[in-house]
Amino acid sequence: MNPFEMVIGIVLIVTIGSVVRAKYGVRRDHKGNEFFAAPVDNGETKALQAEIRALKDRIQVLERIATDNNRAVTLDQEIEKLRDRSLS
């Protein structure tokens, strides 16, 4: 094996190892000790979780409206009435 090929192989192995470690959240402190990084739970994360919860609730309501046959027919009629008003 050529010495240059060996250097390229070592660099490739170290790079792949670093990518895998980063994917699994393994971090090192200033002393070189490895640890798993805990997910940060800040205000933005909480706000996004609340927004997702609200959107899921809205989706449930829309699914209920869409699957309820009687409600879907009257909803369709109401939409058509609104379209007729906007055209007039």
- Cβ neighbours for 35, distance < 8 A, ≥ 6 positions apart: 26, 27, 28, 29
Which pLDDT tens digit goes with each residue over 32-72? 677 666 666 678 888 989 999 999 988 888 777 777 766 66
Q: What are phi and psi of 33, to 5 degrees?
A: -75, 135
What predicted TM-score, i.e. pTM, was given to this entire model? 0.38
The larger pLDDT score, comparing residue 28 to residue 39, is at 28
- Cβ neighbours for 26, distance < 8 A, ≥ 6 positions apart: 34, 35, 36, 37
Q: Give the whole-angstrom CA distance, residue 83 versus residue 65.
A: 20
Q: pLDDT at position 11, please?
A: 94
Q: How many H helices and E strands in the chain? A: 3, 2
The residues spanned by each domain of the chain are 3-36, 43-87
